[in-house]
Structure 1
């Protein structure tokens, strides 16, 4: 059983194990005691008439200037998170919704949301029972994240009468940004492993000089990301083949390490930002623990519910996927063009071009990749803060862009999987025609799976369904088999 004690426990590994794999989790006694202790002090703070706490003994939204009496405090506490549950359309995968529930604990574990122990227990039960609702990622044009957190916790709130502050502990802050960053980071690291393997397979198939990928260049170019790219390629390429080209390969083959370094940079940035966001206290208002000046603690109003780093970081990943789609197209075209590769045009081998329409079954694949490239490039547009003010009366006048960024990264990743499927099949055909096999185990395994799904082409046939099956296999390899994704 996994245990949760502090905000430091909210890691990418924990998201993977709890949100993706569905492993059970529990709160430690230390965590429960801290939540209960902080809640007790907060309740004493509320007895001080000079202390106004937004959404608890002060009105919320446009009613913020109203101080509430005891009856009004009780009535406000009883309101269920229903009114903002208005988004609909396409839903997040369940793994993402579970990650949002898990990220909710960042505000709770140290008492910053003044949550009750029973609320913390209810969230744990929600995860362990996999009782997460459908939450739409479309129609998310609101300030903060309430258009997602309202439907996320609406059913849970019906289980008991809410106490003052409990509703805010459920719906406020930025758990969605942390969860979406974590999802992108986890998927991207796994997709990057696939990218490196497929690009290395293409390098071997083309017979590009190994000097282009000498690890010494990684140190000369500088930085951890260049070194990581060169070292990964060197390990995947294995021992250098004897029959390699004596002249440099086209630009597309020589810049493979540079684009991989770009991918390492974007993925590392996503991981670092996700780790920060998962453990960040983002509640509004944030309850600060007692100190010498404030023996009962204090509440401060914040804008922590707006994670301004999440969308740009996710957009960077989307942009890298678009660049890699284009690179896959260039590498494929180089293999298919006899003047560039030195192989037969369209990798027809000794087949008579008149037996097909002149292009053969593989000759049209660059057209498919061209479509994927444009799809990815259209997705790789920056997710700006929405320009529309949908607040009606002005309190909630700026929306969060992270909900716009995540779907584009997810779709661009799937598009890249398709482009990689095309490139791997073209590389497989080139290796077959030249009677060569990769020297490294990982590339031999990859080639075996490619040919199992898309057998070597010896006559024209419909390749679309086979390529779709291969891209689906790539997608499963990223998210894992037998996972509740």
Structure 2
């Protein structure tokens, strides 16, 4: 398997891509496995292989009890609680764990690696409770539930089915459950792969959200007849944050054919007999329009920093102990400690919340007849008062932002000792990644509401002066939701549109605008 990219991981997680292994892919893992077996045969003391776990590592375990030791590790760690992880998240963590184990420093059996590939191919998804890991020795608890399922216990979904016993899924596939022995179980559970799998999906969703927000900002600015001047790249050139410069570039290019925005030009003062001219048009716009490159540019920088951290982790080995077969060394350390991902996920979470807040402020202005450039209140085109248009949807957007703000406390600083104080610091990266995932889901709900509102404004005002990018966004929206003439329930449409906005295949035509 070539170096794993975020794009490839997402494609496999969503069932749009696959993973294939060649003999050369497996060679490093086979070499490490042979080296491990030699060291076990020589009765070397190896944590988790010939010893107990955690504070029980002072206990020596005979190699003859290897399979029982690995089984008991899985059993005692299968203590997760809460709703199961989403199928895409489970597939993502399997890809991430496979990538780490393939690097040849874990010593797992080649059969385990081949079985992970088979499960991805056949779409076998283990039931993995979302809560119960502190991310310190990696994601022990959720990965143990994967190991349990691969061993023929617990429940799985097979090709999108409901939950069935893992043993039954193995029968249908005509294969035997794995017997985890030697170092298979500890290597399977002892890594950051749940955190990095979820974080990788978050990275892709967050970057698309910035681009969608840029398109919504452009349409919002055109509907308000804003000044294109704020998008000028020369402004970004003298404040060289890469994200801000990127947003200036995107917005300036996408708006170049707009006749709705006020073009940039130098202004002269009018003749003023008394030295003052009151109640003239403002030469610049409210911050939701004027500061778009700065607001979204800062978010883009956070998204890129987060993505870089995740990509680095996908290229890493998160396990303990680590085997270096070529040097005949086994080293004990802490590569399973997910602090990098914890910090990155918390940082991303704040940027996601800011995007939602920014969207809600745009919704508030464009639905307010005192500030929306003569559009109707709450975008109700007729019988306003009898009909309320998007009034309820705007309140929902406000409620979503308020709830998101309660999720802003960082997880990465909430360390609490556990495991008889063996794990006396813990990073809680998985909590941070799951929280960012939830925040992204709610962000897309806010963006869905904004999309519906702005599309309605185009229906009312017409699209003759809009940029091609805004017309394309409007056409896309109308493929997923009809105009609002009389009041109707919008909950299902918001849900449908939020899923469409968040799905890479659905928004591919819109993302092409940024190529």
Structure 1 window deviating more from structure 2 (141-150 vs 68-77): it is 68-77
CA distance in 1, matches of 2:463, 2:63: 80
**1:305 equivalenced with 2:339 (yes/no):** no
CA distance in 2, matches of 1:370, 1:385: 28
**1:341 equivalenced with 2:372 (yes/no):** yes
CA distance in 2, matches of 1:59, 1:457: 64
Structure 1 window deviating more from structure 2 (464-473 vs 107-116): it is 464-473
Q: Give the alignment partner of residue 386 of structure 2, picking from 347, 356, 359.
A: 356
CA distance in 1, matches of 2:41, 2:225: 76
Shift of 1:330: 2.0
CA distance in 2, matches of 1:299, 1:311: 27
**1:274 equivalenced with 2:310 (yes/no):** yes
Q: Give the alignment partner of residue 140 of structure 2, picking from 142, 146, 160.
A: 146
Q: Report 1:42-61 matches (<5 A).
A: 42-49=36-43, 51-61=44-54
Runs of 5+ in structure 1 lacking a partner?
A: 292-296
Q: Give the alignment partner of residue 127 of structure 2, picking from 131, 134, 147.
A: 134
- 1:214 to 1:70, Cα distance in 2 relative to 1, 3 A: closer
Q: Report 1:399-478 matches (<5 A).
A: 399-437=426-464, 439-451=466-478, 453-476=480-503
User: What is the total number of aligned residue pairs between the two structures?
Assistant: 465
Shift of 1:116: 1.8
**1:108 equivalenced with 2:109 (yes/no):** no
Aligned 8 A contact 1:142 1:390 in 2: no
Which residue number corresponds to residue 33 of structure 2? 39
Which residue number corresponds to residue 241 of structure 2? 223
**1:24 equivalenced with 2:24 (yes/no):** no
CA distance in 1, matches of 2:73, 2:93: 19
Cα RMSD (Å): 2.8
Q: Give the alignment partner of residue 113 of structure 2, picking from 120, 132, 141.
A: 120
Aligned 8 A contact 2:135 2:338 in 1: no
* Aligned-partner SS, 1:82: helix
Q: Report 1:194-205 matches (<5 A).
A: 194-205=212-223
Aligned 8 A contact 2:29 2:110 in 1: yes
Aligned 8 A contact 1:307 1:400 in 2: yes
CA distance in 2, matches of 1:185, 1:254: 27
Which residue number corresponds to residue 186 of structure 1? 204
CA distance in 1, matches of 2:379, 2:125: 52
Q: TM-score, normalization: structure 2?
A: 0.82
Shift of 1:426: 3.1
String of CA shifts for 1:135-191, please: whole Å, max 9, x gaps: 121233464211011101113235244332222222212222221221111221222
CA distance in 2, matches of 1:457, 1:16: 34
String of CA shifts for 1:321-368, please: whole Å, max 9, x gaps: 221222222222322334433315616789575x537xx424454423
- 1:432 to 1:288, Cα distance in 2 relative to 1, 3 A: same
Runs of 5+ in structure 2 lacking a partner?
A: 153-176, 263-280, 509-515
CA distance in 1, matches of 2:42, 2:81: 41
Structure 1 window deviating more from structure 2 (32-41 vs 333-342): it is 333-342
**1:322 equivalenced with 2:349 (yes/no):** no
- 1:227 to 1:147, Cα distance in 2 relative to 1, 3 A: same
CA distance in 1, matches of 2:145, 2:353: 33
- 1:33 to 1:252, Cα distance in 2 relative to 1, 3 A: closer
Structure 1 window deviating more from structure 2 (374-383 vs 336-345): it is 336-345
- 1:180 to 1:438, Cα distance in 2 relative to 1, 3 A: farther
String of CA shifts for 1:445-468, please: whole Å, max 9, x gaps: 221233455544455554444444
CA distance in 2, matches of 1:306, 1:438: 54
Shift of 1:89: 1.6
Which residue number corresponds to residue 172 of structure 2? none
